[in-house]
Amino acid sequence: MADTKALIVALSGCSSSGKTTLARLLRDIFPSTFILHEDDFYRPETELPMKDGLLDWDCAEAIDIPAMAEALSYIRQHASFPPTLDSKEDQNSVGKCPVSSTTISALKSKVSSHLSSTHPLSAATIRLCLLDGFLLYPPSMAAIKPHLDVKVFLRASYERAKARREARDGYVTLEGFWADPPGYVDKIVWPNYVAEHSWMFEDGDVEGKYKADVLEQETIRVPDGGPLDGDMDTILAWLVDLILQELDKHA
Sheet with 220-221, strands from edge to edge, namely: 33-37, 126-133, 5-13, 150-154, 220-221
139: phi then psi, degrees, rounded to nearest 5: -55, -30
Mean pLDDT to the nearest integer, 238-248: 94
Rounding to the nearest 10 degrees, give the CA dihedral for residues 57, 58, 64, 69.
150
- Find out whether 251 and 117 touch, Cβ atoms under 8 Å: no
In CATH, 5-248 is 3.40.50.300: yes
39 given a catalytic annotation:
yes
Catalytic residue among 39, 132, 149, 180: 39
150: phi then psi, degrees, rounded to nearest 5: -130, 130
In the predicted model, is pLDDT for residue 62 greater than 80?
Answer: yes
The per-residue pLDDT for range 185-231, each reduced to its tens digit, is: 999 999 999 999 999 999 999 999 999 999 999 999 999 888 888 89
C-beta neighbour count of 36 within 10 angstroms: 24
Q: For 126-171, what is the HEC assignment?
A: EEEEEEEECCCCCHHHHHHHHHCCEEEEECCCHHHHHHHHHHCCCE
Q: What percent of the chain has pLDDT over 70?
A: 88
Q: Give the pLDDT score at 245.
A: 93
The per-residue pLDDT for range 143-202, each reduced to its tens digit, is: 999 999 999 999 999 999 998 888 876 655 555 666 788 889 999 999 999 999 999 999
Q: What is the CA radius of gyration of the chain?
A: 18
